[in-house]
Amino acid sequence: MLVTPQGNRKNRVVAGVMTAMVALFLLVFSRLQPLLLLSLPLSIVLYKWLRHRTKRRLELMSTPFPAKWRQVLNGKVAYYNALDEQEKGRFEKLVQIFLDEIKITGIGTDVDDTVRVLVGASAVIPIFGFPWWEYRALDEVLIYPHAFKGGEGPDEGEYTTGLVAHRETSLMVLSKPHLLSGFANSSDGRNVGIHEFAHLVDLADGAVDGLPPGVKAEVIKPWVRWVAKELEDQHRSKSKINPYAYTNRAEYFAVLTEYMFERPGALERKNPELYGMLQAMFRQDTKSLLMEPFVRPHKLGRNSPCPCGSGKKFKHCCR
């Protein structure tokens, strides 16, 4: 999403060539005098349109990161805090661009800076190893005040905390309290924001199959064999991985993505080869970055303050 000098030059050249071709076509093949007179202004409009996103991103990259947003990252995003200063700057610019281009809408709940920044962080974390990544299949993120039914009808489906609309891939839905609680505990392997953006990473090649695009050939075969073995394992109840991972290949990938960015040490303890495959997929060594301690994470209890900020106990609010 970030614009490099090389990317800016390429965009300028492509925009110039396409504009020149359109202008030449109008001049050579049009016999209508009014259209000929409009060829220059039309060419200018086309050039500006082709350059708009790149120039907008360059403008954002030169704009200081809002202090309130940095406060959210410092206080709630362990991954961000583990980065060095240079990488923190790159992380911030990616969040700025994401929040500028993707609409975030509250449905029956307010969307404040904290929610917006945590959605942006959820999007950036899985793709931080890919400077070229674009979330082309996303236009809007809806924030719900609680868990919601995952089916198409009002009485269909089980309650869920996050959803990517696979048929209309421009939409994501997240439960606000679960988004907040996912970042409140950064070592439990549960983060609905990262989980749903993992599905979008998976979906980038057109199929939600637990195998994202760009995976190196030497990783594909062992990964496919590993996932097939895991899903068929009759003793998986003994696994310390969230049981939801064993729903299907897509959920296995999404759940393990949560672990990759919250409990990478648990993945390596489960199987060093497994961690190595995920490290190759995401091009990130999160175990070295996060330095996961051997501690039992504090869980969100029934009597804990609800992460939605209502002031009520969790059991009386969003539970």
pLDDT of residue 317: 64
Looking at the fold, whether 143 and 283 belong to one and the same domain comes out as yes
Residue 301 domain flag: no
Range 76-80 average pLDDT: 95
> Is 311 part of any domain?
no
Q: What is the pLDDT of residues 187-223, one digit of tens each?
A: 889 999 999 999 999 998 888 889 998 888 899 999 9
Tokens of 211: 């195998």
Mean of per-residue pLDDT scores for the chain:
86
Q: Quote the CA–CA distance of 192 and 121 in Å, as a whole number.
A: 12
Is the distance from CB of 305 to CB of 313 less than 8 angstroms? yes
Asked if residue 200 and residue 171 are part of one domain, the reply reads yes
Sign of CA dihedral 148, 311, 105, 69: negative
Instruction: Give the whole-angstrom CA distance, residue 286 versus residue 264.
Output: 6
149 and 191 belong to one structural domain: yes
In a domain, 56, yes or no: yes
pLDDT at 153: 44
208 and 235 share one domain? yes
Range of the domain at 212: 67-290
Q: What is the pLDDT of residue 154?
A: 41
48 and 98 share a domain?
A: no
Is residue 175 helix, strand or coil? Answer: strand
Number of structural domains the chain divides into: 2
- Distance in angstroms (rounded) separating the CA atoms of residues 55 and 11: 10
Which of 35, 61, 87 is the endpoint of a domain? 61
Residue-wise pLDDT tens digits, 93-138: 999 999 999 999 999 999 999 999 999 999 999 999 998 899 988 9
- Tell me, what's the pLDDT at 187? 85
Same domain, 127 and 262: yes
Q: What is the pLDDT of residue 17?
A: 92
pLDDT band at 168 (very low <50, low <70, confident <90, very high): low
pLDDT above 90: residue 165? no
- How much is the average pLDDT of 229-246? 80
Structural domain includes residue 297? no
Burial classification of residue 192, based on how many CB atoms lie within 10 Å of its CB (0-12 exposed, 13-18 middle, 19 or more buried): buried
Q: Are 277 and 226 in contact (CB under 8 A)?
A: yes
In this structure, how many other beta carbons lie within 10 angstroms of the beta carbon of residue 114?
19
Q: How far is CA 260 from the centre of its chain?
A: 14
Q: Are residues 39 and 100 in the same domain?
A: no
Task: Tell me whether residue 318 is in a domain.
Answer: no
Tokens of 229: 């073995």
CATH code (residue 225): 3.40.390.10
